Chains A and B, each alone.
Chain A
């Protein structure tokens, strides 16, 4: 009994120690920065005190309408993700359906996925104007290629035995797709969607910042132009937290879809 209790205690310690070390290091770092700024060793006009940043949070939430900006960014991301899902999955299905088209264009799609597409935002500014459409289209452009590639990978990776089962039941091509191929490929398609949506969100916030329009990205730009240092740092922390939350949420959803992994 004592041995069991000791091993449980040691297991708990093994689990808690790394988390405590990670959180403890961050707390110590924040405390050190606060102390160095108070001692004048770090210029407070370049790096605001962590306590000031912490106090700036409620201020930016109330005065800068963070919630409405957050809603705007999320709605842009949602619009982009609908486009990414529709065109990305359709593109992947098309490439899977037509082998010749796949052989001819798969490397091109991979090259597009690896290209620094966000750099075409000035072009979108000319075409769509300084508007939410530019931001949504930029998110869509960044997210569509990985979704196409992952959809294709998922459909092409369907187990032969499942396809043969469909054939043995004399399924029509449409039934074969909806009852065999698509459900089998769904977990991989979701990986592509997750990647696509993360790329879309990164680009949406980035372009909002660059063109000074829209939601959270614009907030950071405005606060920095006003030289509101504590507010700028707080807004950056807020955006980082939002991205982490979206990332974790997508990861959870993906795990729920692939329970075996």
Chain B
């Protein structure tokens, strides 16, 4: 019975009797929210355009997605986040491995990372502007600083969970440091690493986009703040919808590619 339950969970095939009311409720909630929105828009209770009509948002969404300049800004932000994730990810991985491999290092330095991790990173933006200029460099730095902490902490925690037998096997084959990292450590801790990357991507995205809203002339963050400055509310809503879809999609994709879903279900 338990096996059958697990099978149905892993295949994702829903039991009809259970899912029908759930789907109906979901559809009902979505319809109710959209109807309330439309009524609020038509009522004029709020300032004009603060709650634009659904049709206006749909038109703005179409206009945004069919505008080639949007893709230029999207590519700029994507490039900045990609570089940030590469720099923050690689340095986080290196620091995490160093902390996880040595008890002394972990006791000496991990507390600093642990307590610095939840600080608001955007306050470092003035420093990043001084160091890396007003261009893409400061945004990349913001993203890299943001994603460094969760990746380093996840990797360090993952290193400590590696089965000691695997490490002894590597040592008995006289593997050098690089071989230990590439053939023992990384494969054994792929789930914490991927989980760290997933969290790191989320915070890198926030860091980069917030920096773009503060000081930039390109990128999706710039488009959002420009829409605010011009009071183009339908465009702002359309950009926020696109952003949330991209970020939630990327988050789910990394989790699925890394097999995080399988761990949860097993």
On A, residues with C-beta under 8 Å from B are 17-19, 21-22, 25-26, 46-47, 100-101, 103-105, 111, 114-116, 118-123, 125-127, 198, 201-203, 205-206, 209-210, 217, 220-221, 224, 229, 232-233, 236, 239-240, 243-244, 247-248
By a CB distance below 8 angstroms, the chain B residues around A233 are 127
- Interface flag for B173 (CB, 8 Å): no
The answer to whether A116 and B243 touch (CB under 8 A), given A21-B104, A209-B123, is yes
> Closest B-chain residue to A224, C-beta based?
B126
Report the minimal beta-carbon distance from B57 to chain A, rounded to whole angstroms.
12
- Interface SS, B side: helix
The CA of A127 and the CA of B248, in the complex, are separated in Å by: 25
User: Quick one: which of B21, B109, B205, B231 contacts A100, CB cutoff 8 A?
Assistant: B21
The answer to whether A205 and B123 touch (CB under 8 A), given A116-B247, A210-B210, is yes
On B, residues with C-beta under 8 Å from A are 18, 21-22, 25-26, 29, 46, 50, 104, 107-109, 111-112, 115-116, 118-120, 122-127, 129-131, 202, 205-206, 209-210, 213-214, 221, 224-225, 227-228, 231, 233, 236-237, 240, 243-244, 247-248, 251
Once the chains bind, are A114 and B25 in contact (CB under 8 Å)?
no
User: Quick one: which of B50, B109, B118, B122 contacts A127, CB cutoff 8 A?
Assistant: B50
Once the chains bind, are B118 and A243 in contact (CB under 8 Å)?
yes
Once the chains bind, are A22 and B224 in contact (CB under 8 Å)?
no
Once the chains bind, are B240 and A120 in contact (CB under 8 Å)?
yes
By a CB distance below 8 angstroms, the chain A residues around B126 are 220-221, 224, 232, 236
Once the chains bind, are B228 and A209 in contact (CB under 8 Å)?
no
By a CB distance below 8 angstroms, the chain A residues around B123 are 205-206, 209, 217, 220, 236, 239-240
> Closest A-chain residue to B117, C-beta based?
A247
> Closest A-chain residue to B245, C-beta based?
A115
> Closest B-chain residue to A45, C-beta based?
B130
> Closest A-chain residue to B131, C-beta based?
A46
The answer to whether A243 and B119 touch (CB under 8 A), given A206-B210, A232-B127, A233-B127, is yes
The CA of A105 and the CA of B27, in the complex, are separated in Å by: 11
The CA of A17 and the CA of B108, in the complex, are separated in Å by: 8
The CA of A234 and the CA of B15, in the complex, are separated in Å by: 59
Once the chains bind, are B115 and A248 in contact (CB under 8 Å)?
yes
Among A46, A198, A209, A221, which residue has the most Cβ atoms of chain B within 10 A?
Answer: A209
The CA of A125 and the CA of B233, in the complex, are separated in Å by: 12
The CA of A213 and the CA of B93, in the complex, are separated in Å by: 37
Once the chains bind, are A122 and B115 in contact (CB under 8 Å)?
no
The answer to whether A126 and B231 touch (CB under 8 A), given A100-B21, A118-B206, is yes
Once the chains bind, are B228 and A116 in contact (CB under 8 Å)?
no
Once the chains bind, are A119 and B25 in contact (CB under 8 Å)?
no
Once the chains bind, are A198 and B118 in contact (CB under 8 Å)?
yes
The CA of A56 and the CA of B85, in the complex, are separated in Å by: 34
The CA of A201 and the CA of B122, in the complex, are separated in Å by: 13
The CA of A82 and the CA of B130, in the complex, are separated in Å by: 38
By a CB distance below 8 angstroms, the chain B residues around A21 are 104, 108
The answer to whether A118 and B210 touch (CB under 8 A), given A22-B112, A126-B50, is yes
> Closest B-chain residue to A98, C-beta based?
B25
By a CB distance below 8 angstroms, the chain B residues around A101 are 25
By a CB distance below 8 angstroms, the chain B residues around A17 are 104
By a CB distance below 8 angstroms, the chain B residues around A127 are 46, 50
By a CB distance below 8 angstroms, the chain A residues around B228 are 122-123, 125-126
Known contacts A22-B108, A202-B120, A210-B214; 19 additional CB pairs below 8 A are: A18-B104, A18-B108, A26-B112, A103-B18, A104-B26, A105-B26, A116-B206, A116-B209, A119-B209, A122-B227, A122-B228, A126-B50, A202-B118, A202-B119, A209-B123, A209-B125, A220-B126, A236-B124, A240-B123
